[in-house]
Structure 1
């Protein structure tokens, strides 16, 4: 059974914690990908971050979040097995590996690889999966010995109304904000030196 309160909380974190950081990141020339870490027990936010590829092309939203997480004093960090990993967009191969190597047993995402390609004009995730790993869209194992992944949109789609309609309206509002961020990034990306912009 889908936990509606968890979906609401994840959307809250995207809207109120990841998006504000992403607004700043896009203004600095970065892509619009962000991530957060929450405690499983009370769903409190540990950390939210965004893409910082203008500093280092490896600092994708998820990897930059993990970098910042491991810069925290150990006493302030939650064990990754006791945490929820949240990504604004379906993680690319680099970020999938980083989530795996850091021991998370789950991740949730709002926008799919196809959304990154089609809605946000950032096709690199799918191109790399195809060129390097010969995987078609959706070809990686979304549930494996390391973690289970969850598309927030698919979870919402499985719900009955009125909750489905209410949550789809929330997602629509968040998506409109990401459309604005995407337009800003696309308009300025020629000015940065990110290798795969």
Structure 2
């Protein structure tokens, strides 16, 4: 799949699958993080999920997705799937993606976005305090997987497709901004650790 097609499929997965679940999750007091798995063959969405920390503090969007994926009757093997995370995965989610056997992941927002735009600094704090890593200090290409940002994929798309892709990405970012405000306004009402 070209970067043009991949960018379209990744954005569609967020727009049509992850965001609707995240709206529901935020309304229940959960953070804004979500994830989806898509088939490498055609970019179709197999499954999407969102953060479900109000049920279990370990159910970050990515980990909750992996739980649901492994509860499916006959899930596709990770080697056949693209892993999409709305936000650059925290250290727990990075490990879960690795242990689940994925050779890739894509993220829409960065750790710095989570800290600066969404007032959720824990990913970078944990990487610094536990692993002594500065922002961007882990290897996005390693023996287990290769990570790319959705922005990088859009940058590699056909120049004629980029304006529409950027417009869609901006609309997604604006919606996450609204959801973040909703989460921040109500987070004192839940007992999520590190809210």
TM-score range, shorter chain: over 0.9
Q: Deviations over 1:136-189 (max 9, x none)?
A: 000000000000001011232345633222211110011110001000000000
Give the 3 Å change call, closer, same or farther, for CA 3–161 of structure 1 in structure 2: closer
2:51 corresponds to: 51
TM superposition outliers: structure 1 runs of 4+ over 6 Å = none
RMSD: 1.3
* TM-score normalised by L of structure 1: 0.96
Q: Which residue of 2 aligns with 1:17?
A: 17
Conservation of the 8 A alpha-carbon contact between 1:90 and 1:109: yes
Please give the secondary structure, in 2, of the residue aligned with 1:114.
Answer: helix
The one of 146, 149, 159 aligned to 1:148: 146
> What is residue 60 of structure 1 aligned with on the other side?
60
Q: Does residue 168 of structure 2 align to residue 170 of structure 1?
A: yes
More contact order relative to length (CA 8 Å, sep ≥ 6) = 2
Residues matched between the structures, number? 195
Cross-structure match for 2:72: 72
Contact 2:98 2:145 in 1 (8 A): yes
- Asked whether the 8 Å contact 1:2–1:155 carries over to 2, the reply is no
In structure 2, list runs of 5 or more residues that go unmatched. none
Q: Can you give the 5+ residue segments of structure 1 that lack an aligned partner in the other structure?
A: none
Check whether the contact 2:9–2:44 (CA below 8 A) recurs between aligned residues. no
| TM-score w.r.t. length of structure 2 | 0.97
